[in-house]
Structure 1
Amino acid sequence: MRKTSAWPLSQAYVALIVYASLYPFTGWRDQGIEPWAFLWSPWPRYWTAFDFAANCGGYMPLGFLLALSFLRRGNPSFAPASKLVAVGIATASSAVLSFAMEALQSYLPSRVPSNVDFALNTLGALAGAGVAVMLVMSGAIDRWGRVRGRWFVEEARGAIVLIILWPFALLFPASVPFGLGQVLERLEAALGEWLADTPFLEWLPVRDVELQPLVPGAELLCVTLGALIPCLLAYSVMRSIAQRAVFGVGIIFVGLAATALSAAMSWGPVHAWAWLSLPVQIGVAAALLLALAFLPVPRRACAALVLLALMLHLSLLNQAPASAYFTHTLQAWEQGRFIRFHGVAQWLGWVWPYVTLAYVLVRVSRSDAQNKIER
């Protein structure tokens, strides 16, 4: 059985679908209808191209990843029967997930279950599974496997998954560019609401001093660390210095593009680069220089540097409040047309650094035999 990044990616994507489908997780109640009644509902009177794309396109990656996981972990010969079974399993599994999400939405007054959404979700998963089979038959997946073997060490699945998810995590608006994981202020507010009118509210720690905005120097450091962390994470599983150089420069530019796309979706295309202030520019340049300086550092040392950078980055970010402009942007995302995408992007933006922290802790805690450097 082959090890493939498609399987952990599919599981992460399932979690994101569940979050996006059931957000905002409040107001649960029995509305007096069967949870499967949406299957026989009439065609919705209003629908948009955005609804079609969100429902069909949202499940395509899941179908693709599930089918690819089955094919890559199964018989290497990829017989026609195995391809059909892979498509069938991927489509059926996605359909079951979609049905469960639509059924649960019948208990959420803020969400509307729809047979059209269910059909589009299943169609999107089928299309994604078909794309996976086409890529396998064309040999593209095998070529990617050979490229991956030349660039990354064998036990690199977790790091590859985290690196792939990093640009998507940046799509959720951040108070500081590349500032993922700023959750303390919202977590305190959420805990206060949940524990209101209960004796447990007194158990919450009370800060003596209000959170203070980041000074330009601290913002610069946060930007530098935020852009440098995925580079060091990649270095911890890559084979050669030349490959590190190409990948490090590339991932920083991908991060810039993802942040610009986030700004364009939040404030309009005209303001796509409005966030690129002087501290941010210096921070990105510093991250690029540090990424080049760390090229010869051994892999396990790079993993240790990721730990240090993450802890400092999260400490700085969570000592600062969100700006008024950032809060306004969040309201636009939560109340507007981004509500379906909001849950996915927000979930990624919040947990990515903490999952990375846990992953790297496991890596650096392994024995020397497990972390031997390949020459």
Structure 2
Amino acid sequence: MHTGTPKTAPSHVDGDSAQLPLLPRYLAAAYLALIVYASLHPFSGWRASGISPFVFLEAAWPRYWTLFDLSINVAAYVPFGFLLAQSFGDRPCRPCAALLAFVSGAALSFTIESIQSYLPSRVPSNVNLLCNSLGAGLGAMVSLCCGQRFFARVLRAQQRLLAPMPHAEYGVVLTGLWLLTQLSPETLLFGAGDLRHIFDIPPALRYDAPSFFALETGIIVCNTLAAGLIMNMVFAGRRPAPRALAWFFAAALLIRTLAAAVLVGPQSALAWLTPGAGLGLLVGGAALALALLLPATLRIALAGMALMAGTVLVNLAPLNPYSVAALAAWRQGHFLNFNGLTRLAASFWPFLALSYLILLGRRP
């Protein structure tokens, strides 16, 4: 007897036409944040020049320009137009969705160029607006031609790899974002949720080797638990959990090592491997192995508590002398915007992850 689809059926397997936009929406939101951050960083020195913020529209074609610069400005908006067109789906029709994506991309570029008039470190440009709009339009056209086929394949991969649960796509974005935060060599290993640099708050504690050792260990244990449990929830039942989690954390440590070697120097490649980090990985791994034996509801609660505890600890931790030295060395290069992006992602990741856990906790 046919019983119908259970209430706990995953959102991404209820039907291609209705559910395909889920992952593009998450990715489009993440890409939107990336564009805004890259375009308005460092978000300081705001000033009113006394002229209209739209005067750049009347400027003549710049004297100095390169094909490479124009291509970069076009290419930067192609993924956004592609993802946005897929986010709109077939409503009211596919060509209309593509047109709306193009208009939205152009409107975003116009808004950002206008806001840049108030930043002394930025120069608004009608050429950038033209190139960005063209990129959004190209992305929308690509979406119109092959977007549905591409995400249909992605959907089939989701059904093979992801757990049968709502909002699994959100979890995929979160795990990818967590791996991205490991590219920041001046932050503590797995340290996420540090808001002090955003609000310019001085450290609450002075550096002391024993207390720093304890705090570093606690931070790594908490974040290993939280990230591991979230990753396990996303992929549960599709891969052997211990093996998948081992590969996940091995990838995170490899990213951390390569980032430190490239951005700071080969001599700093393994500087993250401190006594506190080693102990934290061992204790966190053991705690995670035991936590996987708990029921799903308790795993969600434990992940939330680990997130909150890790965030508190990372905001109490004193400045790490290695982190200060690494940041000074990094700033000598051309990675300021990238540095700010990874630190911002690390700062807000626990709060994004907590919202995901709340969504999981509210499901039937």
Q: Which amino acid in 1 is paired with 2:154?
A: W
Give the Cα–Cα distance (whole angstroms) in 2 for the partners of residues 160 and 261 of structure 1: 23
Report the equivalent of 2:230.
233
Pairs within 5 Å for 1:303-314 = 303-314=300-311
Q: Does the alignment pair 1:319 with 2:316? A: yes
* Equivalent in 286, 299, 303 of residue 302 of structure 1: 299
Give the Cα–Cα distance (whole angstroms) in 2 for the partners of residues 211 and 276 of structure 1: 18
> Which ranges in structure 2 are unaligned for 5 or more consecutive residues?
1-17
Q: Any idea what SS the aligned residue of 2:349 has?
A: helix
Q: Any idea what SS the aligned residue of 2:316 has?
A: coil
Report the equivalent of 1:176.
188
Moved more, 221-230 or 88-97: 221-230
Could you state the TM-score of these two structures normalised by the residue count of structure 2? Answer: 0.78
Give the Cα–Cα distance (whole angstroms) in 1 for the partners of residues 341 and 264 of structure 2: 19
Pairs within 5 Å for 1:314-353 = 314-330=311-327, 337-353=334-350
Pairs within 5 Å for 1:59-208 = 59-71=77-89, 74=91, 82=94, 84-130=95-141, 132-133=143-144, 136=147, 139-150=149-160, 151-156=162-167, 157-184=169-196, 186=197, 189=200
Could you state the TM-score of these two structures normalised by the residue count of structure 1? Answer: 0.76
Question: Contact (CA 8 Å) 2:186, 2:326: kept in 1 or not?
Answer: no
1:186-206: CA deviations, max 9, x gaps?
35635x9xxxxxxxxxxxxx9
Give the Cα–Cα distance (whole angstroms) in 2 for the partners of residues 105 and 97 of structure 1: 12
Question: Contact (CA 8 Å) 1:303, 1:363: kept in 2 or not?
Answer: yes
Q: Any idea what SS the aligned residue of 2:42 has?
A: coil
Question: Contact (CA 8 Å) 1:234, 1:244: kept in 2 or not?
Answer: no
Identify if the C-alpha distance between structure 1 residues 149 and 286 changes in structure 2 by more than 3 Å, giving closer, same or farther.
Answer: same
Q: Does the alignment pair 1:43 with 2:62? A: yes
Give the Cα–Cα distance (whole angstroms) in 2 for the partners of residues 326 and 48 of structure 1: 38
Q: Percent identity?
A: 32
Identify if the C-alpha distance between structure 1 residues 188 and 101 changes in structure 2 by more than 3 Å, giving closer, same or farther.
Answer: closer
Give the Cα–Cα distance (whole angstroms) in 1 for the partners of residues 136 and 306 of structure 2: 38
Question: Contact (CA 8 Å) 2:214, 2:276: kept in 1 or not?
Answer: yes
* Equivalent in 9, 23, 26 of residue 8 of structure 1: 26
Q: Which amino acid in 2 is paired with 1:4?
A: L
Give the Cα–Cα distance (whole angstroms) in 1 for the partners of residues 195 and 222 of structure 2: 17
Report the equivalent of 2:272.
275
Q: Shift of residue 246 of structure 1?
A: 4.7
Question: Contact (CA 8 Å) 2:212, 2:318: kept in 1 or not?
Answer: no
1:96-129: CA deviations, max 9, x gaps?
1112111111111121223343344334434544
Q: Which amino acid in 2 is paired with 1:313?
A: G
Q: Any idea what SS the aligned residue of 1:259 has?
A: helix
Q: Any idea what SS the aligned residue of 1:43 has?
A: coil
Identify if the C-alpha distance between structure 1 residues 295 and 331 changes in structure 2 by more than 3 Å, giving closer, same or farther.
Answer: same
> Which ranges in structure 1 are unaligned for 5 or more consecutive residues?
76-80, 193-205
Report the equivalent of 1:262.
259
Q: Any idea what SS the aligned residue of 1:5 has?
A: helix
